[in-house]
Amino acid sequence: MQKRKLGRSGLEVSALGLGCMGMSHGYGPVSDKQEMISLIHAAIDRGITFFDTAEVYGPYLNEELLGEALAPYRDKVVIATKFGIQMEEGKQVLNSSPRQIKQSVEGSLKRLKVDTIDLYYQHRVDPNIPIEEVAGVVQDLINEGKIKHWGLSEAGVETIRRAHAVQKVTAIQSEYSMMWRSPEEELLPMLEELGIGFVPFSPLGKGFLTGTISSNATFESSDFRSIVPRFKKENIEANQALVDLIKKIATDKDSTPAQIALAWVLAQKSWIVPIPGTRKQSRLEENLGAATIELTTRDLSQIEEALSKIKILGDRYPSEYANRVGK
């Protein structure tokens, strides 16, 4: 597995990371713990060194899972987790108060069984707490040795600039794929300017770009996609043109749609590190194959031309989640 550096921070990770949320949160029932530990160990054996979780996944279950699974490999892996979302009466609440951040970091350190967190993201921007205040608390935590690097998830460009001015930001995490290219407009140029790495989640469009989701697909209530407009029947049908394009490219490259979708993200910038998630060994192997696929300049140009003719329908978040991003 090739390595990549997240911007100019010097933090080096495997070119593909592993998003671990779905093992404990958001995609149906919680997976068997021992099976997921085996999957994480298989990922390490295949060269993955970058693992992504968050305090709210579970809540707490995902961090506990990673803490147990990664304990024997601590010196070989980079662990990213997140603060800033709390569960109150079954609902997510944004809270990045200094007191809460300090409380959250102690809990994450304990659950992850580590002395320091490699990369600590603000999960969502808290409109009630100035980002400069958040960055100041993070700076204190870095000085105390409790975290090494920090980042923000789904933040707007002005917020990122303000945060970076107080404490240099190592990475920004946001959705990015052939299906969702909004980061190309303002975010990616700014990250390149400031030397900040980019960690795309959902590089496979929450599974859609694998070509395995039909218009008849149904999602149980514990699966986040059950409330996502993008996954309504009519939008799945309308967006099939994108899947058809990816399938054609995959055939030409003797690969799978998932591998092409990931290879496309990897080809955009050398400081981009996607974190596809999976709960299956076979999918892990498939995703890893993307790192060996080379898309030439001509390939990328042809893909760009084809993508420009495809309009994606359906929002990526329901309204209650959409109003928390890009702030």
Q: Which amino acid is at 63?
A: E
Assess contact for 264 and 291: CB atoms under 8 A.
no
Q: How many CB atoms lie within 10 A of CB 136?
A: 14
Q: What number of residues does the chain have?
A: 327
In the residue annotation, 60 being an active-site residue is answered as: no
Where is 151: in which H helix or E strand?
Answer: strand 147-153
Question: Would you state the torsion angle of the CA atoms of residues 135, 183, 286, 27, taken in this order, to the nearest 10 degrees?
Answer: 70
84 dihedral zone (left: phi>0; alpha: psi -120 to 50; beta) = left
Tell how many helices (H) and how many strands (E) occur in the chain. Answer: 12, 11
Q: Which strands form 50-52's sheet, in the order they lie side by side?
A: 18-19, 50-52, 78-83, 117-122, 147-153, 171-175, 197-201
Of the residues 57, 120, 121, 176, which is catalytic? Answer: 57
Task: Please count the CA atoms within 13 angstroms of the CA of 323 that sit on its side-chain side.
Answer: 5
Q: How many CB atoms lie within 10 A of CB 91?
A: 8
Angle at 208 between CA 202 and CA 214, to 5 degrees: 160
- The residues, any chain, with a CB within 8 Å of residue 139's CB and separated by 6 or more, are 166, 167
Q: What are the CA-CA distances from residue 20 to residues 160, 171, 175, 183, 325 (Å)?
A: 25, 18, 15, 22, 21
Where is 4: in which H helix or E strand?
Answer: strand 3-5
List active site positions.
57
